[in-house]
Amino acid sequence: MVHRAVGVDAAKKMKGRKHHGVVDTLGLMMAVVITAASVTEREGGKQVLQKLHQMGAAMARIDLVWVDGGYSGFKFIQ
C-alpha cells in the first residue's frame, strides 16, 4: 500500500516517505510498506509485520526478527 502523504520527520530532518521492509536471510524482499516520513519507525514496523502476518501460512515459519534501534520499545515488541 503506497501512501500519497508526504510528511516530515523532525528527528531526522527529512521530508518525504519512509520504506519499511522485511527481507529473508538471502536478502529477498518478503514485504514492504511505504509511509509518510512523519510516521515513526515503530508504527511503520508494526504495519509491515501486520502485512507479513496477513500473508498467512507462507510466512508461518518466521521465528526471529532483527530490527534497527528505531524499532525498539515495549509496544513494538508486543
Rounded Cα gap, residues 35 and 42, in angstroms: 12
Rounded Cα gap, residues 54 and 38, in angstroms: 25
Q: How far is CA 54 from the centre of its chain?
A: 14
Written as nine digits, the cell of 37 is: 516520513
Per-residue pLDDT at 10 exceeds 70: no
Per-residue pLDDT at 15 exceeds 80: no
Q: Which of 76, 3, 16, 4 is nearest to 41 (CA)?
A: 76
Output the pTM of the full model. 0.72
Residue 32 pLDDT:
92
Residue 11 pLDDT:
67
Per-residue pLDDT at 65 exceeds 70: yes
Amino acid at 5: A
